[in-house]
């Protein structure tokens, strides 16, 4: 993973920790227990390291062994849902929670991927899938499955 990408991930983790503390935590659960490493590898299409919990348990991250790809599954309070309708590649994901979407994410330096986010009655689930093999379909599938497993 590039230095810029690591900074981006660090900022995401900091935001998640800050918001989790401000809200007195997030919906309970071990985010890394939501998915097995093999499931993440299959969706990303690359070998990944085992998931690492972060931000006080609000997320789990799996880094690709290629050092250029990663997946983050984050679960926060439902009030943290953000709907960026003007984002590049924005597309509604029907049938997931109250509302859900995916959109393209460009981290610069050739690091592109997809974001998926869904709001349910109890939580906001945010998926980040980055790297050359990242697809909208993978982000949407992971989002649907994460919401189903909560």
The stretches of the chain forming alpha helices (DSSP H) are: 3-22, 37-44, 136-149
Cα separations (Å) of 89 from 27, 81, 110, 127?
A: 29, 18, 17, 15
Find out whether 115 and 127 touch, Cβ atoms under 8 Å.
Answer: yes
For position 109, what pLDDT does the model report? Answer: 76
For position 20, what pLDDT does the model report? Answer: 42
- For residue range 73-95, list pLDDT tens digits in order: 999 999 999 999 999 999 999 99
Token code pair at residue 110: 């050739």
CATH topology of domain 3-149: Jelly Rolls (2.60.120)
Q: Is the pLDDT of residue 110 over 80?
A: no
pTM to 2 decimal places: 0.80
For position 28, what pLDDT does the model report? Answer: 54
The pLDDT-based confidence of 25 (bands split at 50, 70, 90) is very low
Q: How far is 23 from 7, CA to CA, in rounded Å? A: 24
Q: Is the pLDDT of residue 57 over 70?
A: yes
Residues 53-62 have a mean pLDDT of 91
């Amino acid at each position: 993973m590039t230095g810029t990408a690591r900074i981006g991930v660090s900022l995401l983790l900091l935001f998640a920790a800050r918001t989790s503390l401000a809200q007195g935590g997030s919906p309970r659960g071990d985010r890394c227990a939501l998915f097995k490493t093999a499931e993440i590898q299959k969706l990303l299409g690359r070998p990944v390291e085992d998931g690492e919990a972060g931000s006080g348990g609000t997320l789990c991250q799996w880094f690709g062994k290629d050092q250029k790809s990663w997946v983050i599954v984050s679960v926060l309070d439902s009030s943290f849902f953000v709907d960026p309708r003007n984002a590049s590649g924005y597309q509604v994901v029907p049938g997931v929670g109250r509302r859900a979407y995916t959109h393209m994410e460009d981290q610069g330096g050739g690091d592109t991927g997809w974001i998926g986010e869904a709001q349910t009655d109890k939580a906001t689930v945010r998926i980040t899938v980055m790297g050359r093999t990242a697809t909208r379909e993978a982000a949407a599938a992971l989002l649907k499955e994460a919401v189903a497993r909560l």
